[in-house]
Amino acid sequence: MDWFVFVVAGALAIAGALGVVLSRNPVHAALMLVMSLLAVAVLFVEQKADFLAAVQVIVYAGAIVVLFLFVIMLIGVDRPESLTVEPLRGQRPFAAFIGVAAFAELFFLVRLQGASGRRASAGSLTSGHESNVERLARPLFTHYLLPFELTSALLVVAVVGAVVLSRRERAVTVDEGEG
């Protein structure tokens, strides 16, 4: 059963990822991204990482891609883009190189570290009566409290920074008039 879920969700995730790259229409690409994210969420559930799955759907599928779509719709770039123009010179060969390198790295890591796909017994995601959420929350709010708080401070700084940067003094369009 696990195997069946893995194959279906994995295939959907890969199909979605390919769709993001191959769709010409930005809205279709964003939708494919949602499909990929949801399929990965299913994989998380299959690995008993319930909380991660929920957060994946709420944050990525529910907020971030919605914002992508919102921006696409609002500024009207929803026309299919032509692939003949290259916005950044040398971007494509460079991207291809990075992609191949990352894939090779992943491949060798998996091969050399002997990842078997079995669940680790040490870092179990649930323990006895403790649910996945409690198991995550306890270290997060005790041992790792400082990094956690620092992250939230960082996010606040980012929000304030975004507001300050995007806020421009509205240029007064009317001339003051001479004399």
Partner 1 sequence: MGDPLFSKGVGPTVVLIVLIKTLVVFVFLLVGVLFTIWMLRKVMADMQDRIGPNRAGPYGLLQSVADGIKLFFKEDLLPETADRRVFRLAPYLAAVPAFLTFAVVPIGGTVKLFGHRTILQLADPPVGILLVLALSSIAVYGVMLAGWASGSKYPLLGGVRVTAQMLSYEAAMGLATAAVVLSAGSLSTRVIVTEQANWRWNLWQLGIIPFAVFLLAAAAEMRHRPFDLVEADQELVAGFMTEYSSVRFALFYLAEFMGTITMSAVMITLFLGGPLGPDIGFLGGRVSPLWFFVKLVGFLFLFMWIRTTVPRFRYDQLMDLGWKRMIPLSLAWLLLIAAMRLGVDEGWNRFEVVAIAVAAGTVAAGALAAAMRVSAARREEQELEATV
Query: Rounded to whole angstroms, how far apart are CA atoms 19 and 11?
Result: 12
Site for partner 1 in 4-23 (CB under 8 A): none
Buried b (16+ CB within 10 A) or exposed e, 146-172: eeeeeeeeeeeeeeeeeeeeeeeeeee
Strand-pair partners of 28: none
Q: How far apart, in whole angstroms, are the C-alpha atoms of residue 146 and residue 12?
A: 38
Alpha helices in the chain (DSSP H): 2-22, 26-46, 50-55, 65-75, 91-112, 132-141, 145-166
Q: Quick check: 27 binds partner 1 (CB under 8 A)? A: yes
Binding status of residue 50 toward partner 1 by CB under 8 A: yes
The residues facing 130 across adjacent strands are 127
Binding of residue 173 to partner 1 (CB under 8 A): yes
The residue within the footprint of partner 1, chosen from 5, 7, 22, 66 (CB under 8 A), is 66
d(CA 54, CA 25): 28
> Is residue 133 at the binding interface for partner 1, with CB under 8 A as the rule?
yes
Among residues 5, 24, 25, 141, which is the contact residue for partner 1, using CB under 8 A? 25
- Contact between 170 and partner 1 (CB under 8 A)? yes
Please tell me whether residue 70 binds partner 1 under the rule CB under 8 A: yes
Q: Which of 47, 49, 57 is nearest to 132 (CA)?
A: 49
Indicate the residue among 20 and 27 with the shorter CB distance to partner 1: 27
Among 31, 46, 47, 148, binds partner 1 (CB under 8 A): 31
Q: Which is nearer to partner 1, 71 or 106 (CB)?
A: 71
Please identify which residue in the block is written with the tokens 């709010």.
141
Does position 69 bind partner 1 by CB under 8 A? yes
Using CB under 8 A, which residues numbered 90 to 109 contact partner 1? none
Residues that bind partner 1 (CB under 8 A): 25, 27-28, 31, 34, 50-51, 53-55, 57-58, 61-63, 66-67, 69-70, 73-74, 78, 129, 131-133, 170, 172-174
